[in-house]
Structure 1
Amino acid sequence: MAHMVYPGAVHSRFEHSLGVYWLAGEAVHKLKAQQGLELGIDRFDMQTVKLAGLLHDVGHGPFSHLFEREFLPKVVLGSEWSHEHMSVEMVDHIVDEHHIDIDADTIKTVKEMILASSKYATVKSTKEKHFLYDIVANGRNGIDVDKFDYIVRDSRACALGCNFQFERLMVSMRVMEDEICYRAKEYLTIHKLFATRADLYRTVYTHAKVKAVELMVVDALVSANSYLQIASHIQDPSQYWKLDDTIIKTIETAPDQELKESRDLILRIRRRDLYQFCNEYAVPKDNLENFKKVTAQDIICSQKSGVSIREEDVVVSNVRIDLTRGKHNPLESIKFFQDYESTETLTISDERVSHLLPTSFQDMIVRVYSKKPELVGAISDAFENFQYKTYGVKTQVLATPEKKRRRCM
């Protein structure tokens, strides 16, 4: 699945890949139907884009982004590993291992398309039809069929409803100046794409309890890593493909004493005895530019007299949610056209859009958790004190409920 969500309401990674495979083919087909011979789209183009959609996530590790963004940095210092790069390695491994008879140029182009939005993006092997590289993983402006699939899928699976209609974009898109452009009247549809994604991050992917489970899974994997050598597989596709979500079951059922700490954490998850969410605040807009991640040590250094808390009792989660372009308006990186007779592209600046749209495009949310229920009160007090020391005010919206403090004592 694209993101780790508890309870498991979303489809499998394989179904997501099939969805992107189908949407990638649809996008190329619609462009060809709308602009005909002008674009020179051929069978090779159709095949490579669809294969890129099918294989773009094959390099994901257990629990997808959690493995890459939360687990690996804790066990491989300075790691530059990414699932996009591993996807490319896995494509080569699959072709070699199974002796797949496929043209070398096809594989080369597929791998370039997979890497198109990552820091490993390579120089494109062709001098034309660069717009094809933006269909699966769009590094230019973030509009791609990968998002089309998981946003609609996860909204439906979590019963949130979804008013974003990617079909409107598929129908209105045109290729101009070797880039996929959109009719100017659809800028609100595009904004809904990014806003719906941000809403999913806020309400589902980074929900306080979802993050509590993820933090516990990360701790379990970190604890088990030295014994199971989990991270040692990330450079070897022949071993890496065996590493999937069942690693949790492996730990849970293993009798080895070395895995006891990890087993206990997984048992706590099963029993819903989660790390206790204490509170959160959104970093003030004026402080976003120079924000430094808050650590457990920051909270410990802010504790008041009374119950003593240690660094290992506290977990801090720094969650950034944006509209795909950090502090910038994503609409500014998209090219539009006035109508279907237009021969020139245009951009839409902030002052030309609806005044109901936001003027700030990112949030940084700082959350603090207690690993022990009886420390919720003390950690909540330290968290509040940290806010006073850092910003001069208490920035959290609500106080930690007294009922929760008492229940956890």
Structure 2
Amino acid sequence: MVSHEHMSALLLDSIVDKHSIDIEPDYLKVIKEMIVASSDVSTAEGVKEKRFLYDIVANGRNGIDVDKFDYIDRDCRACGIGSNFQHWRLLEGMRVMGDEICYPAKDYLSIHKLFTTRADLHRTVYTHAKVKAVELMLVDALVEANEYLGISLHADDPEDFWKLDDTIVKSIETAPNDELKKAKEIIQRIRRRELYKFCNQYSVPKDKLDHFKNITAQDIVCSQITSKVLLKEEDVAVSNVKIDLTRGKDNP
């Protein structure tokens, strides 16, 4: 499976070729390297001049980049969540020193808010029980529809990948084909808010994190107390979530 950074680079190649955009090959190469910099740190580390340019879009060095600025502002606004993070403060004060993007010491609170706001979004939005339920149901619907629609065949091809947007859900919903019946039923359940049930959660104490193993569906099934209804592994979805400020125990 191609990572979203590498798919972005492939899409850029496709756009340049399809629309005959006049751009120097060396410039195109640099742009693509900037896009994948956080997932391919060795590429950025091998640059001898203007290394700081590779920290603008996807900063693998300290995580402060315009990608975070963008999705934090966008998602807070879309979800109606207040945010104290103001990216313009960082943009106004940033300077390049020693081939690295630096910020005034007085902006440390703004930088801290960047990472805490990101963590809050993960806690309250991205890993919310209802959000995860819809996510799991959409995945199940797409898996059910895959054999008929060939969705996975387009996932690695930039010429087709850009077509895989939200319209695919409506296509499944309105299709008359019996082959899509199961997928359609799952999507209709989402529309009716008949979501997968959230059962329980457990917060691991900090002093036990280092030795705590991820819980699996098998662990849940094997822990059942005999009752009239016995769950199977395919009935259970477990989400092991670790949320920090992107640097584990370290202060970013």
Sort the TM-score into its range (normalised by shorter chain): over 0.9
**2:127 aligned with 1:192:** no
1:266 corresponding residue in structure 2: 187
Once the two structures are TM-superposed, the CA of residue 121 in structure 1 deviates from its matched residue by 5.5
In structure 2, distance between residues paired with 1:120 and 1:311: 38
Residue 299 (structure 1) aligned to one of 216, 220, 224: 220
SS in 1 for 2:101: strand
- Structure 1 residues 242 and 120, CA gap change in structure 2 (3 angstroms): farther
**2:233 aligned with 1:311:** yes
**2:71 aligned with 1:150:** yes
Percent identity reads: 68
2:163 corresponding residue in structure 1: 242
2:60 corresponding residue in structure 1: 139
2:245 corresponding residue in structure 1: 323
Using the size of structure 1 for normalisation, the TM-score is 0.58
1:107 corresponding residue in structure 2: 28
2:201 corresponding residue in structure 1: 280
Contact 2:44 2:51 in 1 (8 A): no
Deviation sequence 1:330-359 (CA, Å, 0-9, x none)? 1xxxxxxxxxxxxxxxxxxxxxxxxxxxxx
Contact 1:164 1:193 in 2 (8 A): yes
Write the letter of the residue equivalent to 1:313. Answer: D
Write the letter of the residue equivalent to 2:218. Answer: Q
Write the letter of the residue equivalent to 1:241. Answer: W
Once the two structures are TM-superposed, the CA of residue 138 in structure 1 deviates from its matched residue by 0.7
Using the size of structure 2 for normalisation, the TM-score is 0.92
In structure 1, distance between residues paired with 2:19 and 2:92: 38
- In the alignment, structure 2 segments of 5+ residues that lack a partner are none
Contact 1:202 1:321 in 2 (8 A): yes
Contact 1:112 1:121 in 2 (8 A): no
Please give the residue correspondences for 1:8-407 in structure 2 after superposition, counting only pairs within 5 Å.
79=1, 81-119=2-40, 122-123=43-44, 127-307=48-228, 308-330=230-252
Decide which structure has the larger Cα Rg and report it: 1
Contact 1:112 1:124 in 2 (8 A): no
Aligned CA RMSD, in angstroms, stands at: 1.8
In structure 1, distance between residues paired with 2:92 and 2:44: 29
Deviation sequence 1:267-310 (CA, Å, 0-9, x none)? 00000000111121112223322443322211110000213222
Write the letter of the residue equivalent to 1:314. Answer: V
SS in 2 for 1:175: strand
Write the letter of the residue equivalent to 2:33. Answer: E
In structure 1, distance between residues paired with 2:92 and 2:14: 37
Write the letter of the residue equivalent to 1:242. Answer: K
Contact 1:115 1:121 in 2 (8 A): no
SS in 1 for 2:198: strand
In structure 1, distance between residues paired with 2:139 and 2:163: 19
Once the two structures are TM-superposed, the CA of residue 157 in structure 1 deviates from its matched residue by 2.8
Corresponding residue pairs, total: 251
SS in 2 for 1:227: helix
Once the two structures are TM-superposed, the CA of residue 126 in structure 1 deviates from its matched residue by 5.1
Once the two structures are TM-superposed, the CA of residue 191 in structure 1 deviates from its matched residue by 0.8
1:354 corresponding residue in structure 2: none
Deviation sequence 1:221-271 (CA, Å, 0-9, x none)? 122222322111223222222222211112212222222211111000000
SS in 2 for 1:180: strand
Once the two structures are TM-superposed, the CA of residue 152 in structure 1 deviates from its matched residue by 2.1
The worse-fitting range, judged by mean Cα deviation, of 191-200 and 169-178 is 169-178
Once the two structures are TM-superposed, the CA of residue 125 in structure 1 deviates from its matched residue by 7.7
Once the two structures are TM-superposed, the CA of residue 199 in structure 1 deviates from its matched residue by 0.4
SS in 2 for 1:281: coil
The worse-fitting range, judged by mean Cα deviation, of 115-124 and 315-324 is 115-124
In structure 2, distance between residues paired with 1:329 and 1:173: 20
Write the letter of the residue equivalent to 1:245. Answer: D
- Structure 1 residues 156 and 242, CA gap change in structure 2 (3 angstroms): closer
